[in-house]
Structure formats: C-alpha cells, structure tokens
Amino acid sequence: MARPTGFPLADAENDFTRARRHQVMSRLANRLRREPDDVNLVLPFDEVVAALGREGERDLGLQIVPLASIVGSVDKTRDFDRRFRPTSGRVRERWQRIAVAQRRGQAMPPIDVYRVGNLHFVRDGHHRVSVAHALGARTIDAYVTEIRTRLPAKGLRGRGDLIMKDAERVFLERVPLPPRARGRLRLSSSWGFAELGETVEAWGFRLMQAEGRFIDRAETARRWYSEEYCPVVRMLRQADLIAGQTEAEAYMKVAAERYRLMRTHEWNDAVLARLRQERRLA
C-alpha cells in the first residue's frame, strides 16, 4: 500500500487506481502463462454447492474470516476478480466512498458470507471485501453460515474444477464408497468417473448373478473395493503396470484391455503376463 497523503479522498482515489492496475496486470500475467480464463474469476456459490452436493447448513454467528479464504459470491458478479480487485470503473464511486470511511477510521459493519469447507462466498459486502484487500487487511468480520456438502471443497481453483467435482459426486451416488476408499480413486478426467461407475455396476451385476440375490449399491461398492479393486491394484503394482498414472487409471486401463484380450473378468498370472506383453509391444 502506498504512503498516505493525509487526504482521505485523494488516498481513496489512489487506492482504487492501484487496485484496478493490479487487476489488469494479473489478468495479463495469467494470459502470458496460458492459465485457464476461469482461474481468476469469482467462484459462483450456487454452482459450487450443486457440484459438491448440499446436505444442510447452520448459523455460526459473527467470526473473524481470513480475506484470502473469500473466493466466491452468491451473486453472479463480474465487478470483482477472485481477489476482489475491481474489474472495471463501474464500482469506483461506491468503492471510494467505503475507502474514505475506512481511512477516516469509521467502523464498517460485518459482511455476510457462506462457508463451504474452508472457502467463503459473499452474500453481502463485496465492496467492503475489495477495499479491505486494497488497504492491506488480512482478516474481516463476517456473519458466517456454514454449508455442509457431500464432497469437500478442497482442490477448487476455478469453474473448470466444478466439472470434476460434479462427476465425482455423481459417481459416489452410484458407488457409495466409505471415505477412506474414496481418497484412493484419483482420476484426471470427469469422463473417467463415469466409466468407473459403469465398471463397478457391471461388476455388481455379475456378483448378483453368481450369488442369485439382489445386492444394494452400498454392499456392491464395499465388496467391489475389497474383493476387486484392492487385490487387482496390488497385483498391478507387483507386475509394474501402474507407472506414470494413478492406480485408479491403471485399474481402468488394464481392466478394459484385459477384457478385450481375454473376454474374461477374472484375474490370474496368465492374464497379467499377457497384459505385460501387450504393454511391451505397444
């Protein structure tokens, strides 16, 4: 933050100009680094909660919130970027009015936010958040409502990540694995979750045929993980068929290749030998 002149109005004008300049330079830097366009956009609360799966909420009252954790908004605002720097001159008048009040030492009312995981989404107070950032604050007072979701918000950087979160949520509705098992299923594409869901359901259908009874999704998921996924991944590690990919991706790839080569859903030493041979010839 620049040295104040002692004139709050002039300082507020400088604050806004500096914040706009930083926003423009940040956008240019992102483009030069060829980062996705959505990385610097405010995350939309409704889309985030829909992708993660809303389960409930509770009022947490007045709290001190780190400014760096405020990454989104309930409104579909385009007036601020992810760090709440103004994206145009449209908000200048109101922004500078709040900045003048801040510089004069006037108390600001708390903002109102939703909390999802460790991220916060503004319900009311976008301009106050922006000014607080520009004036070098680290925290801000906020009334907080916590939103509980099926999936954690960890890993959300931009809107593009919502596609993966949504695909993972749908997969877990089809294959309700326990939390420990979920952490092992890392895939690099949203389509991978759809394919894995189909694989598990097909495995469950064969299991029902073998046992001659109906098996619900929870039991299917639990038994697929313990009787199919874990043993197969262990065999693939021993056969050195995982390198360069996640274990879930390796499982999907060799499972499809196995069926193409053998027309069987079984695993044995002959299958692994054939798969290793095919990998060498590829």
Complete domains list, the chain, with CATH: 8-148 (3.90.1530.10), 175-281 (no CATH)
Rounded to whole angstroms, what are the CA distances from 13 to 1, 94, 128? 13, 11, 15
Residues 96 and 93: their CA atoms lie apart, in Å, by 5
Query: Is the entire prediction scored with pTM above 0.75?
Result: no
Residue 77 confidence (pLDDT) above 70: yes
Phi, psi dihedrals of residue 227, rounded to the nearest 5°: -95, -20
Query: What whole-number percentage of the chain has pLDDT above 90?
Result: 39
Quote the mean pLDDT of the chain. Answer: 84
Residues 6 and 103: their CA atoms lie apart, in Å, by 9
Q: Which is it for the CA torsion 16, 18, 21, 26, positive or negative? A: negative
Q: Please write the tens of the pLDDT for every residue from 166-196.
A: 888 899 999 999 888 888 888 888 888 888 9
What's the maximum distance between 2 C-alpha atoms anywhere in the chain?
Answer: 83
Mean pLDDT value across residues 192-215: 91
Query: What whole-number percentage of the chain has pLDDT above 70?
Result: 83
